[in-house]
Amino acid sequence: MFKRLFTFLVVVSIANTSIAQDFEPKDYFTKEFHANRREALRNSMPESSVMAVFAFPMRNFSNDVDYLYHQNPDLYYFTGYKEPDAVLFIFKDAQTDDKGNTYKELFFVQKRNPMQESWTGKRLGTEGVKEKLGINMAFNGSDFKDFPVDLSKFTNIIYSLPPDLVMAKSETVNLAGLVNSFLRKANISLDQTTNVNTARRTYYKLTGQLREIKTPEETTMLRKAVEISCQGQNEVMKAAHANMSEFEIQGLHEFVHKKYGAENVGYGSIIGAGENGCILHYVTNTKTKVGNSLILMDVGAEYHGYTADVTRTIPASGKFTADEKLIYQIVYDAQEAAFKTLKDGSSFAAASNAANEVISEGLFKLGIIKDKKDYRKYYTHGLGHHIGLDVHDRAATNKLLKNMVITIEPGIYIAPNSDCDKKWWGMAVRIEDDVLITQDGYELLSSFAPRSIADVEKKMAEKSALDNFKLPVLKSK
């Protein structure tokens, strides 16, 4: 009786999951988009080649609890598949199986498992992959071990093994097993480091060439991620005050992201108040009161796999001090100088040189540095990077080309005990914006969030929907 009841509950649970999926977002990429990306890759592959694209491994959080799964961006790009334990093969030329059927790709995925799905969610399985993702040559991962395909016959075997994968000796159906089966079928030894590294470099080159130029569909997705991130910045500007904690400010950003449907953040949210802003990748966010300091907020929403990267620096009091204005204006002017260099065929180097000159001159005039060459003491990172499926997205060329999406993020960071007047100590300013390179210039995608001193102060003077959001005082000490 209990067994029949349990089986019934599992079936009902899966059925309810199917019903709930009717309310999922409708703006994911179409299967045609992913098919187009696979064909574009195939066209760029060398003769007699096959590429293997593996899913990323699961990560353990604690005991029997895993981190929220994040797919290998490349596999998502080429398929739309979001589950672990999978591998995609893309062939340069059509292959023929033992029945005379031809194919240009093979996809091995997680097998349907009603019992497991009642715990961790519904799986697509082979039929779901065929129907929803449009990949007809889809098989269960357990089929790969004995699947009749000789990968060793290809002159170019292109792959990048999953990062930090704990390899198993047996050829099981999990990711490690798929990797082992691949290595055997391709006659690859991991001791052949030169060949492994060559395959990885080719893999990055080919995927970078595709991913660095955004399609119209990708630009649309990035626009939404960026706008959501900007709205988070706007709401925090209106709500921020001296008694807030860094955690609370992080929570407000991410609440706005969730409200607009962003599934995640593209990286750990950076909320650095005062001297914490001088730590470039500060993500602990544990300061209990931001006080009347500057607050550096580097936060990016991830929407359907695509991430924004927007930074604003605001005064917790709502008004910049005279000295804070001087530092902020240098960073703002450096960003403006960099913007002016942007267009199809320009370079990060040209934009960086323009920003560097402004920062160097500005710090020198304020007496913070005595030699203009010393500006790197207080501006210690590069000017920007590509964004897309990764916050530091893959690229293959040094030029900036039409339809690339990049960040421009100059900053000044004056840590305590720096070799300058104490009045500057603890000041950190970064302004980061996301831009689309156009034929003759650029489009500022993150224009939704104010940047100038006057506009930031004006936004901070507005009323926030969160002004009256008060929770009961906790009784636990």
d(CA 206, CA 210) in angstroms, rounded, equals 7
Query: What is the predicted pLDDT for the residue at 101?
Result: 86
Q: Which CATH superfamily does the domain covering 216-460 fall into? A: Creatinase/methionine aminopeptidase superfamily (3.90.230.10)
What average pLDDT score do residues 396-424 get? Answer: 97
In degrees, to the nearest 5, what angle opens at C-alpha 147 toward C-alphas 144 and 149?
A: 115
Query: What is the predicted pLDDT for the residue at 21?
Result: 55
- Could you tell me the pLDDT band of residue 340, with boundaries at 50, 70 and 90? very high
d(CA 224, CA 142) in angstroms, rounded, equals 38
49-104 residue pLDDT tens: 999 999 999 999 999 899 999 999 999 999 999 999 999 999 999 999 888 889 99
- Which helix (H) or strand (E) segment is 60 a member of? strand 60-62
**Nearest Cα to Cα of residue 358 among 386, 378, 388:** 378
d(CA 328, CA 326) in angstroms, rounded, equals 6
126 with 109: CB under 8 angstroms?
Answer: yes
469: phi then psi, degrees, rounded to nearest 5: -85, 100
Query: What is the predicted pLDDT for the residue at 58?
Result: 92
d(CA 139, CA 109) in angstroms, rounded, equals 6
| pLDDT over threshold 60, residue 329 | yes
145-196 residue pLDDT tens: 999 999 999 999 999 999 887 765 555 669 999 999 999 999 999 888 888 9
What average pLDDT score do residues 331-340 get? Answer: 98
d(CA 76, CA 389) in angstroms, rounded, equals 9
Given CATH 3.40.350.10, say whether it is the number of domain 23-211. Answer: yes
| pLDDT over threshold 50, residue 11 | no
| pLDDT over threshold 80, residue 20 | no
What average pLDDT score do residues 38-51 get? Answer: 98
How buried is 384 (Cβ within 10 angstroms: 0-12 exposed, 13-18 middle, 19+ buried)? buried
| pLDDT over threshold 90, residue 396 | yes
d(CA 207, CA 212) in angstroms, rounded, equals 8
- Which helix (H) or strand (E) segment is 70 a member of? none
Intervals of CATH 3.40.350.10 along the chain? 23-211
Query: What is the predicted pLDDT for the residue at 10?
Result: 47
Query: What is the predicted pLDDT for the residue at 465?
Result: 84
- Could you tell me the pLDDT band of residue 18, with boundaries at 50, 70 and 90? very low
Q: Which carries the bigger pLDDT value, residue 193 or residue 399?
A: 399
Query: What is the predicted pLDDT for the residue at 398?
Result: 92
CA atoms within 13 A on the CB side of 330: 26
Query: What is the predicted pLDDT for the residue at 191?
Result: 86
Intervals of CATH 3.90.230.10 along the chain? 216-460
What average pLDDT score do residues 372-392 get? Answer: 98
d(CA 328, CA 334) in angstroms, rounded, equals 10
Query: What is the predicted pLDDT for the residue at 9?
Result: 46
Six-digit token pair at 52? 């293997």
384 with 404: CB under 8 angstroms?
Answer: no
**Nearest Cα to Cα of residue 159 among 92, 90, 95:** 90
Six-digit token pair at 415? 């840590």
- How many helices and strands (H and E) does the chain possess? 12, 20
| pLDDT over threshold 70, residue 348 | yes
Query: What is the predicted pLDDT for the residue at 168?
Result: 56
What average pLDDT score do residues 259-268 get? Answer: 97
